[in-house]
Every structure is written in C-alpha cells, then in structure tokens.
Chains A and B, each alone.
Chain A
Amino acid sequence: MPILRVTPVVAGLAILLLVVVVSAAGIGPYRIAPGDVVAAIAAWIGGGHIDGQIAAVLFQVRLPRIAAAICVGGALSAAGAAYQSLFRNPLVSPDILGVSQGAGFGAVVGILFGLPVAMIQALGFVTGSLTVILVVTLAWSLRQRGDILMLVLSGIVVGALAAAAISLVKIVADPYAQLPMITYWLLGSLASIRPDDIAVVAPTVAIGMIPLFLLRWRISVLSCGDDDARALGVDVRRTRQIVIVAATLITASVVAISGIIGWVGLMVPHLARLLVGPRFDRLLPVSILIGAAFMVVVDTIARTAATIEIPIGVLTALVGGGLFVWLMTRRGSRSIWRRE
C-alpha cells in the first residue's frame, strides 16, 4: 500500500496549485515584472545578488504570505475533511469543537494587555487548544448518549462561552487603539504574516497532518458508522481521539497566525467530495490541494483588489458562500454526500 497514490485528479490539482502560486507571486500592489520575479528566485537559489527592494518585497512579504495561504488553506481543509468524516456530518467545520472561538479569545486578551505579536499568536494557539481539551473533557464526563452528540453540544456551549468572553473584552478594550485591532484579528487576515510565522506554523501543521494520513483508512471506515467500524476491527474511541488532537493542532496553529477564517474548512471538503467521492483516503490530499489553491487565490484578491487590505474572512465568506450555493444546486444530478 503506497503512502500516497498519485491519481490524475491529485496530479491535476498539484499542477493547478503550482500555476496559482506562480501567478500570485507575480501579482501585488508593488509592481514587479514577471521576469524580475523569476530572476530574483533564480538568484536566490543560486546565491546571487538581487535588487534590495524587489528582494524585500518578494522574500519578506509576498512569498511568505503565499506560503501562509497554502498552509492555512490546506490545514483548514484537511481538518474540515477529517471532522466531516469523523462526525459523519456535512455541516461540520474545523471549529466545531470551539478551537477558533477559543483562539480568538486568547488573542483578543493578548491585544487587550498590549502583548507583542508573537505572544498574541502563542496565546491564541494555547487557548484554542485548551478550549478543545475542555470540550472533550466535558463531553466525556457527560457521556450517556454516544460520544458524537455530546462532543458537538459541548463544542457549541464552550464556543458560545468563548464568544461571550470575546464580546466582554471588546467592551473593555480601548475603542480607539485596541478595538480596531481586535476587529481585524477576528475577521482573519494574512496581511501581517512574516517569514518567522511560517517557520513556526508549517512544521506544526505538518506534524498534525501525519496522523491524518496514517489513519486515513480507519477514518474512512469510521465515516460508515461506529458499529461497522468496530466490526471491521477499528478502535473507534482511540481513532477519534487521535483525529481530534491532530485536527486541533492543525487548526489552532493556523488560526493563531491568520485569525478566524471561516467557510474554507466547511466548503472545500464538499468540493473535493464532488471530485473524488467521500472516501477519506482520497478526500484528504484532494481537500488539501484545493484548499491551498483556493486560499492563495482568495488572498491574492484580498491584497490586490482594493488599495486597502480586504479582510480575508470576508472574502472567503463571499466566495465560499457563492460556491456552496452552486454546490447545492448540483445536488440533484450528483449528491455531494453520496457514499460510493
């Protein structure tokens, strides 16, 4: 059994991602001719000298941002696909267990206390993860009617608590200095990504992806129902725990650098399912590739469409909502939640 079978769909999407990334690298408010982009990257690989201004824009700003978009899009889509299979529910998104709201709460508290950016991100990651731990603990201590329902309900309750706490912070925050920052953070943006952020987040996301890839067959089986999975010899509870930990690690780390970006984790797995069907082993790589490409495209719009940065969360909601409606109109001809 190969680690990853390269199907035509996966190969096609990988090429699409590459095309999107190369085009995005050439587009931006600071005009750099496509030739200069290629020359700069060639010079960087070859160790040659490049114009300082162009190098700064490309290597300090634009390419890290594209890398971040790939990370965030891929991560949210992978987590979304895993959760949708795990919960056997097409309406589940990566923040079903409260990770985004929890991370948001940590970050806005960090802003309230005027902490440095790195600390705000760290706090977001920690509180996001803690929120999920709280949800899972709560669900397990209440467990009477099956894990999943309790998990989702606990997630809703704790998520609502975190949202209320965020509102409280907004009220006490300085309306002129801190409130705008809190608003931008909660809307999600990749505007202030720095190379250091990628260096921290990319490895964390990669670590979180490994269990999802290794368990992809079991997650597929799990999506058929607990009893079937048990009959096939899958340790349901153990698998579920590992998937939750992995998806939380992935989501919390990207939310920490990007803020709350909705819709991607919900919508991309549906798009992927349309292409390859609901089997998780096929769904995962396709979701990651589509998510990454989608996010790079949306973020390129966010940073170029207007003079001023458009919050990416607003764009994903706009574009994602539209795509979702389109997906729903297709349900008649080919169900996006049909099992093969």
Chain B
Amino acid sequence: MIGPARRLVVLLGLTMLTFAVCASAVHARTVTDSVGRRVEVPDYITRVFAAGPPAGIFLYVVAPEKMIGWGRTPRDIDKPFLLPKVRDLPELGRLTGRGDTISAERLMASKPDLIIDLGSVNETYRSIADRIQAQTGIPYVLIDGRFENTPAAIRLLAQILGVSARGEELAKASEAIFAEVDRVVGAVPAASRPRIYLARGNDGFETGSRGSINTEIIERVGAVNVVEGIREAGGLARVSPEHVIGWAPDTIITIDPAVRDLIMSRPEWQPIPAVQNKRVFLLPNQPFGTIDLPPSLNRLIGLPLLLHALYPAPVTSDLKTELRDFYRLFYQVEVQDGDLDRLLEGLRR
C-alpha cells in the first residue's frame, strides 16, 4: 500500500515540477538593454524599482502604475502635478550614482520584478548593474539616458514593461518636439543665436560647462553655452562673478525663482547684457526641473519653452496649450489655468 502511494506522490511531484519549469520558461523572456546586456525578465512585470531620480521620472512617465516608490519623495509643491495614486508612494532610496541609500536586503524585501536605471552607460554603471543583478537575482536593465536617445529609450522601456502602445505615443510626442526644435533652430542663422549662461546653486554661480549633461538642453536649442569646460565631458562647476561678466551672456536661464530675484537685484549681475536687456528666464521646476534637476524626460518640455523664449518670431504654437498637452500626456495630470500661468510666469519678459 505504501509503495504505490509513494509512487503517486513522486509522480505528482514530478508533474508539478515539469509544469513549473514549463511555466517559468513560458513566463520569462530575454531583453537586451542599452549596453547589450541580455537580461531575462518575467513576462508580466508589475513592480519596478528605479535606481535613481532620472530613472524614477522615466518610469513615472512611461508606466506610473508599476512604480513601487520614489528615490526621493516629491516636494509638497510638486504633488499637485503628479498622479494622486503615485505621489504618496514611499521613499525607497537610490541605488547608483553618488552613494546608495537603499541596501540590497531592503531592495529584495520590496520585491521588485525589475530594476531600471537611466543615465550614462559607461563601464562603471554596467558593472554596478551586473553586480546588483548577481547579488539580488533581480533583473537589472540599463538604459542610455542621452537626451537624443529619448524616443528610443521610451520605446525600449515600454516594450520591456509591456506598455508598447503608451510608449509609442510618448516616443512620437518626443520626436515631434525634437523635430519642431530642428525646424525652428534651422531657420536661425548661427550669428543670431543666443549665448546662454545657466544659473544654478543658491547664488547662481554654480553652472554646467559646455558638454555637461546639465546643459545639454542649451546646445539642443541651438544656443551657445558661454561656459567652456575644463574637461571634455563637462560637468558642474563654480564660477566667479568676474567670469560671468567676462563671458557677457545675452541670456540667462534658471529654474530657481530665488536665483532669478538675486540676479535681477544684486549689483554684480547688473553689467551683464542679459540682465540689462531683461533676458533672464525662469523656467518651471514643478513637478520636475525643465532644464536639468534631474536630467531625464522632464527636460523635454524645456525645449519648447526655451524655443518660445529665445526665438519668439518663428515659433507659432501656443505655449499654454503646449504645456497643458505635455503635462496631460507625460505626467497624466490636468493643469489648471491659474497653475499654467504661474508655471509660465518667469518666461514673460
């Protein structure tokens, strides 16, 4: 009596095992990320951890329903511009870049199906991805975050997450933005393009040098970043007021209202042509910065905003409509008229 029963158990067990193996084979597929790493991911991905703020915004735009938390909790002033279901998710911390704030164990405890990172795709990030994937067993996908790569990055993530339709819509919208920029900028002769200084930090004397990811948007709208880098790759730097006066930018951009007030009022800024001609533009920074901070999809809307500010003549579209449509499509929120006016306040001369 015992013999057959045991056989039955073994048989049942084997059958279940076979099913399990088949099932896992069916419910997994291999994707290739931006550095050519072949990563096996589950078929249905419902929980995604974004490694850093750029990846967080990217994930929010493409598939907010799959977010499990923020790298940094949004500020209170940002929350009205974010989906109610998502804006109050917990702060989980960040994984790459300047020091991890989430441990591998907590990461595993939060049970993501997938980790994504968006940004530079050098060997450092590649090895971080490999190590974390090996350590935690969670598939880790690295996506090239260069501005120009935006449509491709959106399509790649949307395909991995199984939301290709939304991805296609977003990718088309971003291609349209780039195309409009090329159309407008192409008609402006090189000599009459603005020379821009990006004012960052709490006194405006922190900036990004030419070629840095923080100032990519300046070059993308055909303008000249007056700050030439000491490094080819560029990067953030502190400069002295004397430098800024010497560079004589005809336009200054910032996303910090306090910095704009400083620039308009303090004597060391007054001899700069941009200040004399009142070409100091404050771009919106809610829910995310539109120049950098962080350098992710949020920069896309900075392009049309800058086009309007820099080349008012050849731009035909209505800024308010454009901003409203962007927030509707990308952030999936309806912005009220009053808020729109407030966001665009700093762009009026």
Question: Count of B residues near A, CB < 8 Å?
Answer: 39
Q: Given A307-B227, A307-B228 in contact, is the A62-B242 Cβ separation under 8 Å?
A: yes
Which of B101, B201, B292, B295 meets A171, CB within 8 Å? B101
- Measured CB to CB, the closest approach of chain A to B13, in angstroms, equals 49
For the complex, give the distance between the alpha carbons of A177 and B236 in Å: 10
Q: Which residues of the other chain, B, contact A180 by a CB distance below 8 angstroms?
A: 200-201, 206, 236
How far, in angstroms, from A175 to B228 measured CA to CA in the complex?
23
Interface residues of A in 100-127 (CB under 8 A from B): 111, 114-117, 120
In the complex, which residues 67-91 of chain B have their Cβ closer than 8 Å to any Cβ of chain A?
Answer: 72
Chain A CB within 8 A of B163 CB: no
Does A29 touch B at the CB level, under 8 Å? Answer: yes
Q: Which of B228, B238, B240, B268: most chain A CB closer than 10 A?
A: B240
Report the stretch among B39-47, B92-100, B171-179 that lies at the interface.
B92-100
Contact with A along B255-275 (1 / 0, CB 8 A): 000100000001110110000
The answer to whether A61 and B268 have CB atoms under 8 Å apart is yes
Contact between B242 and A306 (Cβ–Cβ < 8 Å)?
no
Q: A53 interface residue, CB < 8 Å from B?
A: yes
Contact yes or no, A65 B271, CB < 8 A: no
Task: Tally A residues with Cβ within 8 Å of B.
Answer: 39
Q: Are B238 and A311 in contact (CB under 8 A)?
A: yes
| Nearest A-chain residue to B202, judged by Cβ | A117
The answer to whether B203 touches A117 (Cβ under 8 A) is yes
Q: Is the CB of B245 within 8 A of A171?
A: no
A291-326: CB near B (< 8 Å → 1, else 0) gives 000000000000100111101000000000000000
Docked-complex contact A175 and B240, CB < 8 angstroms: no
Q: Could you tell me if B246 and A184 are in contact, using CB atoms closer than 8 angstroms?
A: no
B104 interface residue (CB < 8 Å to A): no
Q: Is A26 part of the binding interface, using a Cβ–Cβ cutoff of 8 Å?
A: no
Task: Give chain A's interface residues, CB within 8 Å of chain B.
Answer: 28-31, 52-53, 56-57, 60-62, 65, 111, 114-117, 120, 170-172, 174-177, 179-181, 184, 189, 191-192, 194, 303, 306-309, 311
* 18 pairs, A vs B, C-beta closer than 8 Å: A56-B245, A56-B267, A61-B240, A62-B242, A175-B98, A176-B295, A177-B200, A180-B206, A180-B236, A189-B238, A192-B205, A194-B268, A306-B230, A307-B209, A307-B228, A307-B243, A308-B209, A309-B237
The 8 closest A-B pairs by CB, nearest first: A30-B246, A308-B237, A56-B271, A60-B268, A191-B240, A61-B241, A53-B271, A61-B242
Query: Contact residues of B with A, CB < 8 Å?
Result: 52-53, 72, 94, 97-99, 101, 200-203, 205-206, 209, 227-230, 236-243, 245-246, 258, 266-268, 270-271, 292-295
